[in-house]
């Protein structure tokens, strides 16, 4: 694994360790991470991707020259363990991604039908930037604040 296996977003909120699990062996990397309302101190809490979720994310990173958005689906017992990614219908360009409103509603309905709460399927917003731009834009920041700003915890 190299530094390209981590999606860093630096907003001046500290550094954490992001771990991608691959079978029995685990590799750790130190990288800046953007988190709101979930404080990361000295790597004690980690955002961890299951192998399938990590592969999906890697695919989205390299699938094209546009931004792509997704929701991280968290484990029931650990909201920072990403079990899977859900990619609702969306409109993308090189500088923007916008989920279709009906697709977001369908996303929450589908997971509610499966007994999965919004805290597990709607509070981890993942999106890519083409090229090598890991920092959130002003639009990303304002969208994140508008959509999940009132939650007790959320991750971008």
Q: What is the pLDDT of residue 87?
A: 93
**What's this model's pTM, rounded to 2 decimal places?**
0.69
Judge whether 80 and 47 are in contact, CB under 8 Å: yes
Q: Of the candidates 108, 129, 130, which has an alpha carbon nearest to the alpha carbon of residue 120? A: 108
Q: What is the pLDDT of residue 155?
A: 83
Per residue of the chain (156 residues), give pLDDT as tens: 333 333 333 333 333 333 444 333 333 333 333 333 344 455 567 889 999 999 999 998 888 889 898 999 999 999 999 999 999 999 988 888 888 999 999 999 999 999 999 989 998 988 888 877 778 888 888 888 887 777 777 888
Q: What is the pLDDT of residue 42?
A: 57
DSSP 65: S
Q: What is the pLDDT of residue 57?
A: 92
CA pair distance 24, 20, nearest whole angstrom? 11
Judge whether 55 and 85 are in contact, CB under 8 Å: no
Q: Please tell me the total number of residues recorded for the chain in this structure.
A: 156
Backbone phi, psi, residue 71, to 5°: -105, 135
- For residue 106, is it left (φ>0), alpha (ψ between -120 and 50) or beta? alpha
Give how far Cα 2 sits from Cα of 73, 96, 137, Å: 24, 27, 25
Q: Of the candidates 79, 59, 73, 82, which has an alpha carbon nearest to the alpha carbon of residue 5? A: 59
């Amino acid at each position: 694994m190299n530094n390209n296996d981590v999606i860093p977003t630096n907003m001046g909120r500290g550094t954490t360790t992001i771990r991608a699990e691959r079978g029995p062996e685990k590799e750790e990397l130190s990288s800046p991470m953007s988190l709101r309302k979930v404080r990361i101190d000295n790597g004690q809490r980690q955002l961890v991707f299951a192998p399938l979720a990590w592969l999906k994310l890697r695919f989205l990173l390299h699938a094209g020259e546009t931004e792509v958005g997704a929701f991280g689906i968290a484990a029931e017992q650990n909201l920072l363990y990403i079990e899977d990614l859900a990619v609702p219908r969306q409109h993308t360009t090189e500088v923007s991604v916008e989920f279709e409103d009906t697709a977001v509603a369908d996303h929450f309905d589908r997971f509610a039908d499966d007994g999965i709460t919004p805290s597990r399927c709607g509070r981890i917003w993942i999106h890519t930037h083409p090229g090598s731009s890991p920092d959130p834009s002003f639009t990303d920041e304002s969208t994140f604040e508008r959509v999940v700003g009132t939650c007790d915890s959320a991750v971008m």
